[in-house]
């Protein structure tokens, strides 16, 4: 039963994308594996091994041939190391990204607050007023936030935020400021390196590997922002959305602490060792 639960139904010629408990029961009975069995028994057996074939999770397999090399550098920075050496007190690590396509919309009926025996009620229908984006920077070790809300992300908008941060102390006079970014259009590749490092001599741009947003610490803050300030949300304009987002940014900094990041380069190599052979062969393992 447990072996069947770990197979795709199509393997057995079934027109199903995944097994449910009832489908598993019908299949094992039809195949003569058991004479009789209840759905509760199937659930209990699978529950013992934490198998849930009826659930699913979206996943993107890494395809960057330098995944281990690029990810390893970022993980080292989180633990205040760069190229095998500990960072000095005047070296800082920033994580930056953008949260795009934030909807600006009003409900056809106002959101009602919770009451005794009743949860908060959010009207299903709404009117659209466009979208906006939030560009943000997280100081990994000092738990400081910087951000702008814009109508649309652009190189100009990102560079404006970089300039604002780099003009402040302690970054202005720092020995080095490491900016961790993904491969998004506004900070992609060598052009972004040349553009930003040419303007700020103490800035070092560090790119994440492709499909590695789970390593970018600013994404943790984005998830907190989404849960605490944007769900549910009702904004009549970009200014209203910006007031909520930037207001939460200020509020969060009153309680923020550095994220307790435990995942290391060794953990990364152990994770990669569990990937399929075909996947590992396409990646270069960093020393």
d(CA 54, CA 159): 46
pLDDT score of 280: 61
Q: What is the pLDDT of residues 206-239, one digit of tens each?
A: 999 998 999 999 999 999 999 999 998 899 999 9
67-253 under CATH 3.30.420.10, yes or no: yes
d(CA 80, CA 74): 10
Helix, strand counts (H, E) of the chain: 10, 7
Percent of the chain at pLDDT > 70 equals 96
92 near 141, Cβ under 8 Å?
yes
Instruction: Residue 144: name the closest of 221, 73, 213, 214 by CA.
Output: 221
162 near 179, Cβ under 8 Å?
yes
Q: What is the pLDDT of residues 178-199, one digit of tens each?
A: 999 999 999 999 999 999 999 9
d(CA 166, CA 21): 56
pLDDT score of 281: 59
Per-residue pLDDT at 284 exceeds 80: no
Q: What is the pLDDT of residues 90-106, one digit of tens each?
A: 999 999 999 999 999 99
Q: Is 95 helix (H, G, I), strand (E, B) or coil?
A: strand
Domain ranges of the chain: 2-48, 67-253
pLDDT score of 282: 59
Per-residue pLDDT at 285 exceeds 60: no
Instruction: Residue 235: name the closest of 100, 102, 99, 98 by CA.
Output: 102
pLDDT score of 272: 86
pLDDT score of 276: 72
pLDDT score of 258: 97
- Overall average pLDDT of the 109-127 stretch: 91
Q: What is the pLDDT of residues 25-77, one digit of tens each?
A: 999 999 999 999 999 999 999 999 999 888 888 877 778 889 999 999 999 99
Per-residue pLDDT at 171 exceeds 80: yes
Per-residue pLDDT at 287 exceeds 50: no
pLDDT score of 286: 44
- Overall average pLDDT of the 107-121 stretch: 91
Averaged pLDDT score across all residues of the chain: 93
């Amino acid at each position: 039963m447990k072996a069947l639960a770990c197979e795709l139904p199509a393997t057995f010629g079934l027109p199903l994308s995944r097994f449910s408990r009832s489908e598993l029961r019908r299949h094992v009975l039809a195949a003569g594996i058991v004479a009789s069995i209840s759905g509760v028994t199937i659930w209990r057996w699978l529950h013992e091994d934490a198998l849930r074939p009826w659930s699913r999770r979206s996943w993107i397999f890494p395809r960057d041939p330098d995944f281990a090399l690029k990810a390893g550098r970022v993980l080292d920075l989180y633990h205040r190391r760069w190229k095998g050496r500990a960072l000095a007190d005047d070296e800082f690590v920033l994580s930056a990204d953008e949260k795009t396509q934030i909807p600006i919309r009003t409900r056809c009926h106002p959101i009602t607050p919770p009451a005794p025996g009743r949860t908060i009620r959010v009207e299903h229908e709404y009117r659209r007023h466009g979208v906006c984006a939030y560009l943000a920077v997280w100081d990994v070790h000092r738990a400081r936030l910087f951000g702008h809300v814009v109508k649309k992300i652009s190189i100009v908008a990102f560079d404006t935020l970089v300039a604002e941060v780099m003009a402040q102390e302690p970054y202005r006079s720092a020995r080095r400021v490491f900016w961790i970014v993904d491969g998004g259009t506004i900070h992609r590749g060598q052009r972004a390196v040349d553009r930003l490092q040419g303007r700020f001599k103490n800035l070092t741009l560090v790119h994440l590997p492709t499909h590695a947003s789970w390593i970018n610490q600013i994404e943790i803050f984005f998830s907190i922002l989404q849960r605490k300030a944007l769900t549910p949300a009702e904004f009549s304009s970009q200014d209203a959305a910006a007031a909520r987002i930037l207001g939460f940014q200020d509020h969060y900094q009153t309680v923020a602490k550095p994220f307790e990041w435990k995942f290391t380069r060794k953990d990364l190599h152990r994770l990669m060792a569990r990937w399929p052979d075909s996947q590992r062969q396409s990646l270069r393992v960093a020393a």
